[in-house]
Structure 1
Amino acid sequence: MQRILIILPVLVLGACANLPEDRVPGGEPSEAPGLQVAAPESDFAAEDTVLYHLLVAELAGARGDLDAAVQHYLSAAERSSDSGVAERAARIAVYAGDNKAARRAAERWTTLSPQAPGADEVLAIIALRTGELEAATNHLQAVIRASSSLAAGFDEVSALLNREVESGKAIDVLQRLTQRYPEQRSAHYALGETALEAGRPRLALTAANDALSLSPDWRDGYLLRAQAYLATGESELGLADLQRLLRQSPEDYDLRLHYARTLLDLSRTQEALTEFQRLMERRPDDPQVTYAAALLAMDAGELEMAREYLLKMVNSGERADAAYYYLGRIAEQEGDYQGAIRWYSRAGGDYRAEAQLRISLVLAESGDLEQARARLQSLREDDPDLAPRTFAMEGEMLRSAGRLEESLAVYNQALAQSPGNTDLLYGRAMTAVSLDRLDLAESDLRQVIDAEPDNAHALNALGYTLVDRTDRVREGKQLIEQAYNIRPDEPAILDSMGWALYRLGEPEQALDYLEKAHERSEEPEIAAHLGEVLWQLGYKDRARSVWQQVLKEDPDNRFVTETMRRLTE
């Protein structure tokens, strides 16, 4: 029979050239045109009959007729003593989703080759698909036994379960298997890994602990437990497990990289930077580590350090476009506008569009608003996909410059081209507030909220506008509360909550929110609000201190100067 499987592709190619188009040998039209192979004569040898069914199956598969392919493969399998034919029939039936045929072929396979682990794999898949979890568990146990090791077996089973069934069934089967292998750490690990991927970190934590109880020094067990702790929010315990492993293997580069990335995910910037610097000492030419260290240094305010790392990337040619872009960001942050433009101009690839937009911002910041607008117009002509963003930037530049009517006109033009764009609606609403067009502002913000009910910025903006500019203070506070429930640590939202409470005659409660907002942000408007509440509560020295911090940097700040004038007149 092995000869049949070897010569079959040759026969298929020959048969394809001789197939009739639309008639069977008797001369009558075919009821199912397209697949026509003469049936074997009754005196054909059994081997020729098998060959016939294999030939028809291959042709059917080539034409996309899986049902016919499965039936002919199955017929071949039932007539052949070659387990390879039965295996092929079983796998094709599984692929076609014909569980009944797959079961028959797999049973034939096990009859011909009782020790074939692949047959149990197929039977397990069929049982999983039909909801027979105990039967599936039995077959998967056979797969594990046939593997080179228990660890390899559980890896294979985990991959099969994750591929074939949803997480609930996968976990159910793995729990059954761990009951059969309670002393095998690989069983508990497989369960924990699947539970973690399924969003069940507590179950993963239990499984990791069970694995570690069997192998107290097992590296993979600690890594799994660390991930589970992090997923439950117990970050210190997760980090402790990673630190334990690092103490045992301080030279393990991949482990330290994993630890550094974990710190980064937890926003522990300074600690992450320290770890990335250690990694750079080990592998100074690793571009990914250099890049991560550069961004962390920027985030930590270590601009000289960041510049050094980015220039190293430029010199090496690794991720040079990213380096040019971030060197531009550093120059911009330092007020070196010409330097920023030079760096941004060199950024290409995925960073080109963003860099060109930043050049427009730099031009506006340096006072060349018309040149900034011209560049934005050129960008949207070159790339229409950038149009909404360039319009939003242009509108905001004009609003910041006090050219409110022009800003409104830009937003109107943009929304005529992109109606319903929430970024443009939000931008126009902010300009409308500045123009005292509160009706337009409310309409635009409500459109944003209707489209994006969880848009905390829009909820807060509308709520604050109602609190600050109308007598609908309680209605505004309800909107701010919705925003607060979504983003409770956002400084602007904390400020709005405090201001709403103050406007409702509750300055003591307002003070708590405003102090939290001021701790998180140095925005002058927040300082103005905090100072006013402190003043009204009798803490006038503290109020003056808060205001003076702003006036040192910006002596003419309108939020603070107007507040001071109103309270001291």
Structure 2
Amino acid sequence: MLPKKIVVALSLASCLALPPAAFAQASRDGVAEDMVARSVFQVLLGEFALQRGDARLALEAWADLAERTGDPQALARATEIAGFAGRNDLALALAERWRQAEPESTRARQAEAALLIQAGRIDELGPQLAALLAQDKENLPGNLLHLNRTLARIQDKNAVLELVDRLTAPYLDLPEAHFALTQAALAAGQEPRALTSVEQALRLRPDWEIAAIARAQIQSRQSNTKAFEDLQAFVKRYPEAREARLALARLLIGEKRYDEALGHYDALIKASPDDPALLYPGAMLALQQNQREIGRDRLERLLKTPFPDRSTIHFLLGQIAQEAGEKDKALGHFQQVTSGERYVAARARSAQLLLELGRGEEARALLHETRGTTPGERTQLVLSEAQLLREAGRHDEAYATLDKALTTQPDDPELLYDAALSAERIGKHEQMETWLKRLLTLQPDHAHALNALGYSLADRNIRLPEAETLIGRANKLAPEDPFILDSLGWVQYRRGRIGEALDTLQRAYRIKPDPEIAAHLGEVLWIAERRDEARRIWLEARQHHPDNSTLADTLKKFLP
């Protein structure tokens, strides 16, 4: 059986061999049969050549047929094949003949216009596009809106603007004409002209969301204030304008005005309560503003929609539950994170929760069976396992785990830092210094590494000038970090500057009432003969942190 295209082509060939009057005369002269046979042969030759991938032969057959008969259908097919074969010059000539043979054909004009655009012959393009616009009055608004997309391949954007100016001139009573001018002016970098045109579009159609959003985008390049004012006024006048409200919310997010943005997402979600495109950013904004229950509700609703990234939703819900102390619920969510960039983090958090639930061996087994695909993920798994071991009091094993990981990733900053702290805990001070100095070679401005090395020296009461220099550098990098301030106060105390140490430690404690800062502050107060204050701070800290070893050692030393 012949392919359908070939059957259609054969039918066409029998019809286009000669016009009807000529066909009648040819029949009387005995010519018609030869003409039909030749046409059928050329159609078959052209189509079978195309099927074999021989575009050159196909084009020769169809172009000759089109030239010989002048038939619009043959010209259309020849134009199509010439374009496919990359013969744009011939395609354009054929398209022009096609349009002349069939002046009312929209397809012919569209083909010619497309080829003129491809050839960059913008001066010849205008009449064809003008005729297309005039021919299709029913779809004129939409055609005006698509005008710039049609002209997108032309590189000379100022020439495009001039062309759009001419093409829209008869239709300036339509807002779409002014919007087409807006788009062309923007592409040409003429923002004042674009703003004038979009304002005119809005005068003709005041409730047009697309134009209101475009105006705000143009205004925001000069003044966010004006963009906000006009878009807010538009949303106030047209509260059902969903896209405009969404654009306004995004502008507000860009300016970090999260509370206002959240209000708009609240309104949008109220109107479309099951829209994933609204629920996800609405949930993120609610969480950003510490409205956890609203955020949780929206994330849970997302799970009932076709939202594709369910693992991310479960991870976020797990975080919320973990922060609320709902360990079993959090574990359930983390266990449903089965893929994506949060997979390893979810497994690490699951292990931590299992440990807290008294299932330590299960936690470690979970980490061992998890495979990280990137160096960062492998690091995260090692750090999680070391943390589990430390919390179980198995500090030597934690150190060994980190030491082993550094043999394959010797320059990983996170591993170096955690391994150094682990070495410090078991008294391997030389190894701690080696790793921290290596880290500082890689990242000289690593504030926490500077602080850790300086604090270790100060706490052992050795090389105090060096310790203060290290901690001072860390303090300049992070002046409000309470733990760095604690180290600074501690080294000041070790160097005998009691008043200075007291001021620094009190500042650290105001920022974060941590039990170790409380231990240091209490000791300095005790030495300063302010013992009642020292007792109060220590006992208050012990009430909230009864298991902190540094605080317990300090209390044993001063309040046996």
TM-score over 0.5 for the pair: yes
Amino acid at match of 1:332: Q
Residues 231 and 248 in structure 2, CA contact (< 8 A), matched pair in contact too: yes
Amino acid at match of 1:524: P
Cα distance change, pair 237–459 in 1 and its aligned pair in 2 (3 A): farther
Distance in 2 of aligned mates of 1:525 and 1:175: 65
Matching of residues 227-376 of structure 1 within 5 Å: 227-230=217-220, 232=221, 234-264=223-253, 266-313=255-302, 323-347=313-337, 355-363=346-354, 371-376=362-367
Partner of 1:124: 113
SS of 1:181's equivalent in the other structure is helix
Distance in 1 of aligned mates of 2:98 and 2:265: 54
Amino acid at match of 1:120: R
Residues 54 and 72 in structure 1, CA contact (< 8 A), matched pair in contact too: yes
Cα distance change, pair 158–229 in 1 and its aligned pair in 2 (3 A): same
Partner of 1:36: none
* 492, 508, 516: which one aligns with 1:547: 508
Matching of residues 504-523 of structure 1 within 5 Å: 518=480, 523=481
The alignment-based identity, stated in percent, is 22
Cα distance change, pair 43–266 in 1 and its aligned pair in 2 (3 A): same
Residues 78 and 108 in structure 1, CA contact (< 8 A), matched pair in contact too: no
Cα distance change, pair 266–372 in 1 and its aligned pair in 2 (3 A): farther
Distance in 2 of aligned mates of 1:502 and 1:439: 16
Cα distance change, pair 541–215 in 1 and its aligned pair in 2 (3 A): same
How far apart are residue 532 of structure 1 and its match? 10
1:406 aligns with 2:406: no
Query: What per-residue deviation string (whole Å, max 9, x for no partner) do you get for residues 480-509 of structure 1?
Result: xxxxxxxxxxxxxxxxxxx999659xx9xx
Residues 235 and 245 in structure 2, CA contact (< 8 A), matched pair in contact too: yes
Partner of 1:159: 149
Amino acid at match of 1:178: D
* 201, 209, 212: which one aligns with 1:222: 212
More displaced stretch, 186-195 vs 388-397: 186-195
Partner of 1:181: 168
* 373, 390, 411: which one aligns with 1:386: 373
Partner of 1:441: 439
Partner of 1:52: 41
More displaced stretch, 309-318 vs 122-131: 309-318
Count of equivalent residues: 460
How far apart are residue 375 of structure 1 and its match? 1.3
Cα distance change, pair 293–539 in 1 and its aligned pair in 2 (3 A): farther
- Where does the alignment leave 5 or more consecutive residues of structure 2 unmatched? 13-30, 422-431, 455-468, 529-560
How far apart are residue 378 of structure 1 and its match? 0.9
Distance in 2 of aligned mates of 1:234 and 1:391: 46
Cα distance change, pair 99–311 in 1 and its aligned pair in 2 (3 A): closer
Amino acid at match of 1:145: A
1:8 aligns with 2:8: yes
TM-score using structure 2 length: 0.66
Cα distance change, pair 372–204 in 1 and its aligned pair in 2 (3 A): farther
How far apart are residue 85 of structure 1 and its match? 2.2
Amino acid at match of 1:375: L
How far apart are residue 306 of structure 1 and its match? 2.2
Residues 249 and 264 in structure 2, CA contact (< 8 A), matched pair in contact too: yes
Amino acid at match of 1:144: L
Cα distance change, pair 270–315 in 1 and its aligned pair in 2 (3 A): same
Cα distance change, pair 61–503 in 1 and its aligned pair in 2 (3 A): same
Query: What per-residue deviation string (whole Å, max 9, x for no partner) do you get for residues 382-440 of structure 1?
Result: xxx63644421123336665744521422434x49xxxxxxx83434545765333564
Amino acid at match of 1:299: Q
SS of 1:386's equivalent in the other structure is coil
Distance in 1 of aligned mates of 2:252 and 2:125: 41
1:190 aligns with 2:190: no
TM-score using structure 1 length: 0.65
Residues 547 and 560 in structure 1, CA contact (< 8 A), matched pair in contact too: no
Distance in 1 of aligned mates of 2:247 and 2:254: 10
Residues 506 and 521 in structure 2, CA contact (< 8 A), matched pair in contact too: no
Residues 117 and 142 in structure 1, CA contact (< 8 A), matched pair in contact too: no
Distance in 2 of aligned mates of 1:500 and 1:52: 91
More displaced stretch, 313-322 vs 206-215: 313-322
What is the root-mean-square deviation of aligned Cα atoms in Å?
A: 4.7
How far apart are residue 331 of structure 1 and its match? 1.1
Partner of 2:461: none
SS of 2:151's equivalent in the other structure is helix
Greater Cα radius of gyration, structure 1 or 2: 2
How far apart are residue 58 of structure 1 and its match? 1.7
Partner of 2:22: none
How far apart are residue 228 of structure 1 and its match? 2.8
Amino acid at match of 2:284: L
Partner of 2:24: none
How far apart are residue 7 of structure 1 and its match? 3.8
SS of 2:107's equivalent in the other structure is helix
Distance in 1 of aligned mates of 2:196 and 2:319: 46
SS of 2:79's equivalent in the other structure is helix
How far apart are residue 129 of structure 1 and its match? 2.9
Residues 351 and 367 in structure 2, CA contact (< 8 A), matched pair in contact too: yes
More displaced stretch, 203-212 vs 359-368: 359-368
1:524 aligns with 2:474: no
Cα distance change, pair 254–227 in 1 and its aligned pair in 2 (3 A): same
Residues 398 and 407 in structure 1, CA contact (< 8 A), matched pair in contact too: no
- Where does the alignment leave 5 or more consecutive residues of structure 1 unmatched? 13-41, 417-423, 446-457, 471-498
1:395 aligns with 2:382: yes
How far apart are residue 540 of structure 1 and its match? 8.2
Partner of 1:77: 66
Distance in 2 of aligned mates of 1:193 and 1:529: 59
1:209 aligns with 2:196: yes
Amino acid at match of 1:339: K
Amino acid at match of 1:327: L
